[in-house]
Structure 1
Amino acid sequence: MPSPVRKVGRHRAEDRRPPRRSRLSHPPVRVAVATGVACCLGVGLFAGARGGLGDGKPPPGALADRAASAAEADQRASRSFQRGGSAAVTPGGTASPLATLSPARPTEPARPTPVAGLSQAQMDNAKTIVDVGVRLRMPRRALVVAVATALQESDLRNLASDRLPESSRYPHQGSGDDHDSVGLFQQRPSSGWGSVRELMQPAYASRAFYLALREVSGWQRLSVTAAAQSVQKSAYPHAYAKHEHRATAIVDALG
């Protein structure tokens, strides 16, 4: 009976073959490196959460980074929230927050539109007369009396006097030769109305007229002519009446 074949040699040859590696397995070296990197990252994140490297102090440069981040965030907010107008752009291309805080330039008030055949200069003088009366809380009738008086006395022009050379040194719109009478209301310095310099100022002259009108007892019940004459003491007392309608239109236009 033949002896059985021994397969020891075959098994030994198979034993000498290196084991097959699984596709999902990793070399030990790579696993160790990956594990070490993960550990380092974990330690770094933990230390960052603690605010330092374990000694309770922020790492070098952390405060500077935080300050830079805060400044950048504030700059973005300044660009998006503009105060009072468009932000100016600096040479670097960023908006300057301080530029939006600069005060706006004041605008000049609009000049009144002339009415009743007046020039712009005459209308400006009428506005001064009305504005002074309003500040003094004078009633509307007083404004009409004052404008009618100025229409008669100076045609609503700030006149110098040919007899007072000093008056020509101040802003004026022509001149007259009625004694030493000057200004919108032709008031005389020699009669105690004020100095030449004062009376050549339309606002001062208007105030002087209103204060004198206040002193007239019952002036509200007087006609425009009688009220004006009680202040001016003119040689032509009835000349003011013809200006009442025109003066009323001017006061109405000035509101």
Structure 2
Amino acid sequence: MAKLVTIQLLVSENDESDIIDGLNDALRTITHPMGSGCAEGSFILDYAVPSRALDVPAAIEDSIASGTYAEGSAFAGGEQHYLLVVQQDVNALRVGPFSNSDDRDAAARAHRKEFGEDDGLYWMQVSAEGVVEVGDFGGDELEEPSLAREVVSRFHAGERVISRPASASCFMLDMGDGEQPVSMDLIADIEGISYETLVIVQEGNTEFVLPASKARDFYKEADWLHAALNKETRMGFFDWVSVKVGELPKARPT
């Protein structure tokens, strides 16, 4: 039974034609004649040299130049991350490699900030086996990180990060590293990013600021059933909740 085996080689050559020629010369000495080699009886029957070599991270280049390269370090982590820049949607440039996707995304945001939206930006990921994946940056991945975006992310995760005692006048934001007052500007930014109105919901002696969609969770079917039995509503549960949420005070008065 025959199998295909993928290997990676670290070579001290930059010119790709020289790399291909050098690998052909070396591999033919250990390859069976059926693969154009000269090693009769070799278990290596054939091979294929990729048409394009991958760049290595700058840290690996530096370690080779300084003589401190550690065996296997060029292959550690497996994946390599690149940024593809299509200038004016015509000329494609590859930037990288980056050691991780966060560094790549930061480079994409920096490019977008400096050059605007005229260039197409795409992520590229190369696995340890040489498998290439390319994709679009989705949603707000190229937006600069901000406090408002982090709050929206926490809301989506079901966290209640904005609250105050019912008797207090100021809402406080608690992201786990200390509290800070919540300004109307922050509320406006959160609403702009989430495309939702923020409302105030009270539970016990505490008031919370939440997106309207999350405030729906405070209304239970048992409460609706009680209202229906007492002839306080003729609406179905979904519509009843929508009305209740619509009656809640807004975090940012209009």
TM class by shorter chain equals under 0.3
Q: Indicate the structure whose relative CO is greater, using CA pairs within 8 Å and at least 6 residues apart.
A: 1
Higher strand share: 2
Higher helix share: 1
Larger Rg: 1
